[in-house]
Amino acid sequence: MSADGTVETIIADWDHNDLDRTCRTQATSNEFYWDEDAMVWPGHGSVTMAEALSPMSAAMRSAFKESYISFMEEASYSQISYKTQLQNLSFVLKSYPTTSFDLPWMSNAVKSDQFRRLRVMHHSFLDHLGCRYDGSVSEEALRLLLLTKASHSQFANVLSDDPKKSWLTDEEYESLLRTVWDNYESNTACTQVTLLRLLSMQYARRPRQFAHLKIGDLLPPGAPDNSFNEWVLNFPGVKDINAERGFRDSKFEPHPLPDHLLQLVNLQIREVKTLFESSLGFEINDHDLKNLPLFCSDLRLIEAVNFIQNHYKLDVTANLHHELFHLRPALIKECLCWRSLSPNLIQRVGRNQNTKRPVPPVSHRTGRTLVVSSIRMRHTRARQLARKGMPRHILSHWLGHTSEDAIKHYYNDPAEQARMINESMAPALAPLAMAFTGNLIETVEEASLAHDSSKRVEMARSGELLNVGHCGKYSFCSLTTIPIPCYRCKYFEPLVDAPHTEVLNALNQRQNAESQNIKIGGQRRLILPIDLTADIKAVESCIARCEARKAEREDEE
Q: Among 295, 304, 301, 302, which residue's Cα sits nearest to residue 344?
A: 295
Q: What is the pLDDT of residue 41?
A: 87
pLDDT given for residue 526 in this prediction = 39
Using 50, 70 and 90 to split pLDDT, how confident is the model at 470?
Answer: confident
Do residues 210 and 374 touch, judged by C-beta distance below 8 A? no
> Is the pTM of the predicted complex or chain greater than 0.75?
no
Produce one character per residue of 473-486: b if its CB has 16 or more CB atoms within 10 Å, e if not.
beeeeeeeeebbbb
- Highest mean pLDDT range out of 77-81, 297-301, 518-522, 549-553? 297-301
> In angstroms, rounded to a whole number, what is the distance separating the alpha carbons of residues 460 and 482?
10
What is the arithmetic mean of pLDDT over 51-56? 94
- CB distance 435 to 428 below 8 Å: no
pLDDT in tens, 388-407: 777 877 887 788 776 666 56
- Rounded to the nearest 5°, which phi and psi values hold at 281? 85, 20
**pLDDT in the model for residue 521:** 40
* pLDDT tens profile 126-174: 999 999 898 899 999 999 998 887 765 544 555 566 788 888 988 899 9
Average pLDDT across the chain, whole number: 80
Going by the DSSP 8-state scheme, the letter that residue 152 receives in this structure is: P
Interhelix angle 79-95/119-132, rounded to 10 degrees, is: 80
Residue with the larger pLDDT of the pair 214 and 475: 214
Provide Rg for the chain, Cα atoms.
Answer: 36
SS3 of 467, please? strand
**Lowest-confidence pick of 91-95, 261-265, 320-324, 429-433:** 429-433
DSSP letters for 71-106? HHHT--S-HHHHHHHHHHHHHHHHHS--SSB-HHHH
- Own/partner contacts of 508-511, CB < 8 Å, gap of 24 or more, are 508/536, 511/536
CA angle 152, 156, 161 (to 5 degrees): 140
Question: What whole-number distance in Å separates Cα of residue 32 and Cα of residue 47?
Answer: 11
263-277 pLDDT, tens digit per residue, is 999 999 999 999 999
| Mean pLDDT across 24-38 | 67
Residue 398 CA: distances (Å) to CA of 208, 409, 410, 466: 17, 14, 12, 64
What does the buried/exposed string (b/e) look like for 284-300 if buried means 16 or more CB atoms within 10 Å of the residue's CB?
beeebbbebbbbbbbbb
What residue type is 202 in one-letter code? Answer: Q
Helix (H) / strand (E) containing 234: strand 232-236
Residue 440 pLDDT:
87
Strands 218-219 and 456-461: unpaired
More confident residue, 115 or 530: 115
Residue 160: per-residue pLDDT: 62
Of the given ranges (86-100, 104-118, 223-237, 425-439), which has the lowest mean pLDDT? Answer: 425-439
